[in-house]
Chains A and B, each alone.
Chain A
Amino acid sequence: QVQLQESGPGLVKPSETLSLTCTVSGGSMTTYYWSWIRQSPGKRLEWIGYVFSSGTTNYNPSLERRVSISVDTSKNEFSLRLNSVTAADTAVYYCARDSSNYGEDAFDIWGQGTMVTVSS
């Protein structure tokens, strides 16, 4: 079955760029929507944005100025870049798959999550 695995630095300095990659195994990325979701230490879940397998993106308006999500289907991975990070960006970052080929549905597969701390 399809599995997701996040990877990237666990510590990022303030004002720098957070970069994470999600590797998809056990299935194709084609015709699915792939999202990044984060969870703050206070436990609230926040959707960051998605990328479709074609490269089309859609971002949370509250993060849109700082975020970029890209996909490389040949490597079976998609990536997140978040610029100008502050301590408020400290969270567990999850990648997840939208269950529908049409998007805007439930997230049926999640990665295990990776903790990212913003600190000098």
Chain B
Amino acid sequence: SYELTQPLSVSVALGQTARIHCGGNDVGSKNVHWYQQRPGQAPVLVIYRDIKRPSGIPDRISGSNSGNRATLTISRAQAGDEADYYCQMWDSGSVVFGGGTKLTVL
């Protein structure tokens, strides 16, 4: 079955840029979606179809997807960005989630 691989954790200094990668075989040919999950809360969609932002998501958050890696980029990181982030796609009619990355803002 298809797998999406994410680093367990990423750290970023306040105001700097964080990049969270999501690896998978030829993932660039798929639509990848990203969710933010703060402690005790449900996931929130922050990027869909690789690069699109739902209404209400700031343009500091962006996505890209090419080759074997999709990337979520958070610019000008804020304390409120500290959360778990999950990538997700569909493969052969089933949903695949990455294992999640904990973003720490220092």
Is A32 located at the chain interface by the 8 A CB criterion? no
Residue pair A45, B42 in contact (C-beta under 8 Å): no
B interface residues, tally (CB under 8 Å): 21
Interface of B is mostly: strand
Given contacts A45-B97, A47-B94, A113 and B42 within 8 Å (CB-CB)? yes
Residue pair B45, A107 in contact (C-beta under 8 Å): yes
Is A30 located at the chain interface by the 8 A CB criterion? no
A interface residues, tally (CB under 8 Å): 21
Nearest-neighbour CB distance to chain B for A97, whole angstroms, equals 10
With a cutoff of 8 Å between Cβ atoms, the chain B residues found around residue A43 in the complex are 84, 100
Residue pair B100, A112 in contact (C-beta under 8 Å): no
Residue pair B43, A110 in contact (C-beta under 8 Å): yes
Nearest-neighbour CB distance to chain B for A96, whole angstroms, equals 8
Residues in A lying within 8 Å of B, measured CB to CB: 35, 37, 43-47, 58, 60-61, 94, 99, 104-108, 110-113
Given contacts A43-B100, A44-B99, A45-B43, A106 and B93 within 8 Å (CB-CB)? no
Nearest-neighbour CB distance to chain A for B7, whole angstroms, equals 14
Scan residues 72-106 of chain B and give those whose CB is less than 8 A from a CB of chain A: 84, 86, 88, 90, 93-95, 97, 99-100
Given contacts A43-B100, A46-B97, A111 and B42 within 8 Å (CB-CB)? yes
With a cutoff of 8 Å between Cβ atoms, the chain A residues found around residue B43 in the complex are 45, 94, 107, 110
